[in-house]
Amino acid sequence: MSTSQLLIIALVLAALAFFAGRARAWAVAGESGGIRSLHSLPIHHGAMVALWCLLPALVVIVGWKLIEPAYISAVVADTVPAEVSAKGRQNVSLYRNEVENLAADGDVSDVTDEGKRLLGERLIAQRSSSRIALSLLVIAIALGGAAFAYRKIAVPMRARHSVEGAVRFLLVSSASIAILTTLGIVLSVLFESMRFFQQVNFVEFVTGTSWSPQTAIRADQIGSSGSFGAIPLFTGTLLISAIALLVAVPFGLMSAIYLAEYASPRVRNIAKPLLEILAGIPTVVYGFFAALTVAPAMRDFGQMIGLSVSSESALAAGMVMGIMIIPFVSSLSDDVITAVPQAMRDGSYALGSTQSETVRKVVIPAALPGIVGGVLLAASRAIGETMIVVMAAGLAANLTANPLEAVTTVTVQIVTLLTGDQEFDSAKTLAAFALGLMLFVVTLVLNVVALYVVRRYREQYE
Cβ atoms of residues 383 and 248 within 8 Å: no
User: Contacting another protein (CB under 8 A), which of 129, 293, 303, 308?
Assistant: 293
Largest Cα–Cα separation, the chain: 97
C-beta of 410: minimal distance to another protein in Å? 9
Q: How far is CA 431 from the centre of its chain?
A: 18
Instruction: Provide φ and ψ at 406, rounded to 5°.
Output: -85, 135
C-beta of 64: minimal distance to another protein in Å? 13
User: Contacting another protein (CB under 8 A), which of 230, 291, 309, 431?
Assistant: 291
Of the pair 232, 327, the CB lying nearest another protein is at 327
Buried b / exposed e across 340-369, counting CB within 10 Å, b at 16+? Answer: beeeebeebeeeebeeeebbeebbbebbeb
Task: Determine if 336 is a binding residue for another protein (CB under 8 A).
Answer: no
User: Contacting another protein (CB under 8 A), which of 74, 82, 86, 172?
Assistant: 172
Task: Determine if 341 is a binding residue for another protein (CB under 8 A).
Answer: yes
Cβ atoms of residues 344 and 362 within 8 Å: yes
Of the pair 239, 446, the CB lying nearest another protein is at 446
The mark string for 245-264 relative to another protein (x by CB under 8 A, - otherwise) is -----xxxxxx-xxx-xx--
User: Contacting another protein (CB under 8 A), which of 67, 177, 395, 401?
Assistant: 177
Cβ atoms of residues 400 and 421 within 8 Å: no
Cβ atoms of residues 244 and 318 within 8 Å: yes
Distance CA 195, CA 190 (A): 9
Distance CA 281, CA 277 (A): 6
C-beta of 210: minimal distance to another protein in Å? 24
Binding-site size, another protein (CB under 8 A): 106
Instruction: Provide φ and ψ at 313, rounded to 5°.
Output: -65, 150
Task: Determine if 356 is a binding residue for another protein (CB under 8 A).
Answer: yes
C-beta of 172: minimal distance to another protein in Å? 6
User: Contacting another protein (CB under 8 A), which of 30, 300, 451, 456?
Assistant: 451
Beta bridge partners of 228: 211
The mark string for 41-70 relative to another protein (x by CB under 8 A, - otherwise) is ------------------------x---x-
User: Contacting another protein (CB under 8 A), which of 390, 406, 407, 453?
Assistant: 390
Of the pair 80, 257, the CB lying nearest another protein is at 257
Distance CA 289, CA 243 (A): 17
Distance CA 274, CA 259 (A): 12
C-beta of 263: minimal distance to another protein in Å? 8
Locate all alpha helices (DSSP H) within 281-399, ordered by sequence: 283-289, 295-304, 314-339, 342-350, 355-358, 364-384, 387-392
Of the pair 138, 363, the CB lying nearest another protein is at 363
User: Contacting another protein (CB under 8 A), which of 13, 414, 427, 431?
Assistant: 414
Of the pair 121, 385, the CB lying nearest another protein is at 385
Instruction: Provide φ and ψ at 211, rounded to 5°.
Output: -120, 115
The mark string for 6-45 relative to another protein (x by CB under 8 A, - otherwise) is ----------------------------------------
Task: Determine if 444 is a binding residue for another protein (CB under 8 A).
Answer: yes
The mark string for 417-436 relative to another protein (x by CB under 8 A, - otherwise) is -xx----x-------xx--x
- State the CB neighbour count (10 A cutoff) for residue 133: 11
Cβ atoms of residues 364 and 445 within 8 Å: no
Of the pair 57, 414, the CB lying nearest another protein is at 414
What's the DSSP call for residue 360?
I
Of the pair 148, 424, the CB lying nearest another protein is at 424
C-beta of 114: minimal distance to another protein in Å? 26
Task: Determine if 280 is a binding residue for another protein (CB under 8 A).
Answer: yes
Task: Determine if 274 is a binding residue for another protein (CB under 8 A).
Answer: yes
C-beta of 323: minimal distance to another protein in Å? 5
Amino acid identity of residue 97, one-letter, is: N
CA-closest candidate to residue 197, choices 431, 413, 415: 431
Q: Which one of the spans 27-35, 75-83, 151-159, 355-363 is the region binding another protein (CB under 8 A)?
A: 355-363
Task: Determine if 301 is a binding residue for another protein (CB under 8 A).
Answer: no
Task: Determine if 361 is a binding residue for another protein (CB under 8 A).
Answer: yes
Instruction: Provide φ and ψ at 228, rounded to 5°.
Output: -110, 40
Distance CA 175, CA 205 (A): 37
Task: Determine if 113 is a binding residue for another protein (CB under 8 A).
Answer: no
C-alpha to C-alpha distances, 219 to 139, 197, 224, 232, 393, nearest whole angstrom: 50, 14, 7, 23, 29
Task: Determine if 344 is a binding residue for another protein (CB under 8 A).
Answer: yes
Chain positions 132 to 161 lying near another protein, rule: CB under 8 A, are 160
User: Contacting another protein (CB under 8 A), which of 281, 395, 396, 401?
Assistant: 281
Query: What's the burial of 433, exposed, middle or buried (CB within 10 Å: 0-12/13-18/19+)?
Result: buried
